[in-house]
Amino acid sequence: MNLFPIKVRKSFLAFVSLFFSTISAAQTIVQEQGMIFGTDSSSTHIGSNNSKELKKAAFNLVPSSYLVQYAGSIGLFSAGVGWDYGWQKQWSTDFLLGYVPKYDTDRAKLTLTLRQTYTPFKVQLHEQISYHPLRTGVYLNTTLGKQFWYKEPDKYPNSYYRFSTRLRINIFVGQDFSYKLKSKSSYFEGIKFYYDLHTSDLYLVSGIQNKYLKFDDYIGLALGVKLQIRRK
């Protein structure tokens, strides 16, 4: 029974190390490929084709943005990396690490978030500024600490609580503004400001059932900044 938190911690560490090793490996590959392309122009047709594919695959693994967020039920502040993809970059997957100060409890908490965003529409307001009137999606948040469990411990009779204190499913809708930098060679190519209105499974079930609860009781507001890394 007590093995459970250790298992969770181990698998979490394994996950994080795998994550970072993948990123660093991918970055190395990109750099090497870049060097080959930059110096060796006489490579054969087949060789360059293979390299291109390899480069493309590596690109998909390297995050395409860094982000920081304020609030959002995942921490006071959280920071992470994101992958933007799709023909219009309408999809994005983010991974965030959040920090919850201790406030009136015994200890501060760390959380992990995996978020999938869909941004279907784009309005070009200016040469450099674009506006996305809708961003929506889901994020899963898990809180680290042995107080929180995925599944209730074995001491409870079957299906005693029927929910997880550790895993929250959140949904959100929001908007964003993107600003594209003028420079053609800077490390970052653009900056995106977004806000999301969000709620989680537990807030939503409370809000739906009670007229007493107002919109802002169970719907939260999050603000974020996303820095887009330049792609060649």
Contact residues toward another protein (CB under 8 A) are 70-76, 98, 100-106, 109, 111, 125, 131, 143, 147-148, 155-157, 160-161, 163, 165, 168, 175, 195, 197-198, 200, 202-203, 205-206, 209-213, 216-217, 219-223
Residue 206 CB, nearest distance to another protein (Å)? Answer: 6
Q: Which neighbouring-strand residues pair with 173?
A: 136, 197
Nearer to another protein by Cβ, of 63 and 80: the residue is 80
Select 61 or 167, whichever has its Cβ closest to another protein: 167
The answer to whether 191 and 226 are in contact (CB under 8 A) is yes
Secondary structure element (H or E) that encloses residue 177, with its range: strand 167-180
Output phi, psi for 46, to 5 deg.
-65, -45
DSSP symbol at 146:
T
Q: Quick one: 6 or 123, whose CB is closer to another protein? A: 123
CA dihedral 119, 204, 68, 130 (to 10 degrees): 30
Nearer to another protein, 20 or 193 (CB): 193
CB closer to another protein out of 160 and 187: 160
Min dist. Cβ of residue 187 to another protein (A): 27
Hey, what long-range contacts does 48-51 have (CB within 8 A, 24 or more apart)? Answer: none
Contacts of 179 (CB under 8 A, 6+ apart): 128, 129, 190, 191, 192, 193
| Least distance in angstroms from the C-beta of 135 to another protein | 12
CB of 93 to another protein, least distance (A): 22
Rounded to the nearest whole angstrom, what is the least distance from the CB of residue 116 to another protein in the complex? Answer: 20
